[in-house]
Amino acid sequence: MKTISQAKAFGGIQGVYSHESEACHCTMTFAVYLPPKAATEKCPILWYLSGLTCTHANVMDKGEYRRLAAELGIIIVCPDTSPRGDGIADEPDNWQMGKGAGFYLDATQAPWSKHYQMYSYITEELPALIADNFPVDMNRQGIFGHSMGGHGAITIALKNPQKFKSCSAFAPIVAPSSADWSAPAFEKYLGADKTSWRQYDTCDLIADGAQFREILVDQGAADGFLDNGLRPWLLQEAVKDKPEIALTLRMQEGYDHSYFFISTFMGDHLRWHAERLYK
């Protein structure tokens, strides 16, 4: 692991690091915020997954999480959204495919399958690296994210309920298999057989029996992607007859899809996770 930068913030350390990924076969970069409490003891870990076109830097620069994470004693880890580098498959003119658009799945179709193994990277390789290098309590993990990252956070929690104590999302893509801005990417990554897509689709996972105790979702009512990409009402419908999944969906009037929206409700989400991580 290589240290790219470190800076003191609210008594803790905001760092950026890189390593050679075996899952993605390239150099991957990620950010970690260590609260002051981490200097003397292991702390809970909260994973933040970013959205389309983003890197680790978007939430690090604009998410406004450090002050409260320092107070709550939570480590924040912000991975990248896809493999990066020369020779990695990409569609430079398509922001919904390739670099910046890994969708937190393991691609099975060439040429994407060589590098785009983001599900394995987020659930296996990066956690092992974090556990070896930072003072984290891996028995107290939460996960959240925005848009494509909200999709990733909820699907990963549904598939790994024993690993995570908490899950939330900002404006998640809840049914990517049928959304205009994600279905084409799913076909390229996973092939034409849509049965293989279900394992990475929140609504399909729930229909197939996946469970998670509680999910918090904030959605901007003025989000321009609401109708053709996000469609939170489909998640409401999916859990309607599932009392084992407690969904809190909050439609926030006047808010869009930007980090102005995310930073406004970041504190609510951090407190939501802290209550469950420290329970």
Residues classed as catalytic: 147, 223, 257
Our measurement of the distance from residue 159's CA atom to the centroid of its chain's CA atoms, rounded to an integer in Å, reads 14
Taking the C-alpha atoms of residue 79 and residue 82, their distance in angstroms, rounded to an integer, is 9
Residues forming beta bridges with residue 142, ordered by sequence position: 46, 166
Which two structure tokens, joined as six digits, stand for 85?
Answer: 């580098």
DSSP 86: T
How do 43-49 and 26-34 pair as beta strands? Answer: unpaired
Contact assessment for residue 27 and residue 85, using Cβ atoms and an 8 Å cutoff: yes
Q: Output the CA torsion sign for 237, 238, 244, 246.
A: negative
Which two structure tokens, joined as six digits, stand for 65?
Answer: 């999480």
